Amino acid sequence: MRRPVLMIAPPDPLTVPPWPPTEAALPWAFFLDVDGTLLEFADRPSAVRVESELASTLARLNRATGGAVALISGRAVSDVDALFAPLVVPVAGQHGAERRSADGRHHRYPALADALRPAAKALAAFSARHPGVFLEDKGMSVALHFRLRPELQDTVTREVSRVAGALGSAWAIQPGVLVCEIRPGGRDKGVAIAEFLAESPFAGRVAVFVGDDLTDEQGFRAVNRHGGVSVKVGAGETAARWRLADEAAVRRWLGTCAERLDRRPVGERA
């Protein structure tokens, strides 16, 4: 199927995307970051909760697009599933180091996970020495969160760089909003989105990616290359072509999208 080309030119400066046009019968695919995009940050990832209204919006959007909604997260796939249960959609976790396709297949990429154990142990010891800094061990990636100690950003970054350097070139450092992470090299959100776009039901659709963080910039670039809609949440320099103010604005906008797409005849949704 030939990929549709979005004909809306973004203005300068970036503004809220005036989309989707109700008169257009183009097929859409949504790729959505989780923390800082759909959900406000919490002191710890485990403290985040999904409100029923958001769950309803995502379910409606998933239904209206024929299942072309995927969550693209730094969290592990199992963590995303638990957070949004009982909703089940395709997920890319740990910045693309693992992925579940729409057909339920799990893709886990070579990540030398055993080699990451010494790094996890070292970072756990570091967090124990610095109250307010905590380690999130996701299996194929590890992250130091310093949301409670923002003044330690340089210290955390140096420690993660030191530990990552001992692992070798198979691993990459991923900075984020008050977090610094070690993840498998060669895997990122842009790669994960491109892989989804090669599969059903995402293939041949106009891709939409909404994200807020440095970890999402690869996703913006991937969607731009596909002629899609890249949306940055919040302030900051970005490769995204559009912008939404905050997580609440994202939820409102997605609600509008779901409503408009749900109104279209069933034959025009896929």
Cβ–Cβ < 8 Å for 8, 19: yes
Give SS3 for 184: strand
How many Cα atoms are found within 13 Å in the side-chain-facing hemisphere of 187? 23
C-alpha span between 177 and 153 (Å, rounded): 10
Where does residue 130 fall: left (phi above 0), alpha (psi -120 to 50 degrees), or beta otherwise? beta
**Catalytic site residue from 12, 33, 137, 246:** 33
Q: Which residues contact 88 (CB under 8 A, 6 or more apart)?
A: 81
ω into 201 cis (within 30 of 0): yes
Give the CA radius of gyration of the chain. 19
Joined together, the tokens standing for residue 149 give 């100690």
Q: What is the DSSP string of 43-108?
A: SSGGG----HHHHHHHHHHHHHTTS-EEEE-SS-HHHHHHHHTT----EEEGGGTEEE-TTS-EEE
The CA distances from residue 157 to 48, 123, 183, 238, in Å, are 24, 11, 14, 22
- Is residue 33 flagged as an active site residue? yes
Q: Which residues are catalytic?
A: 33
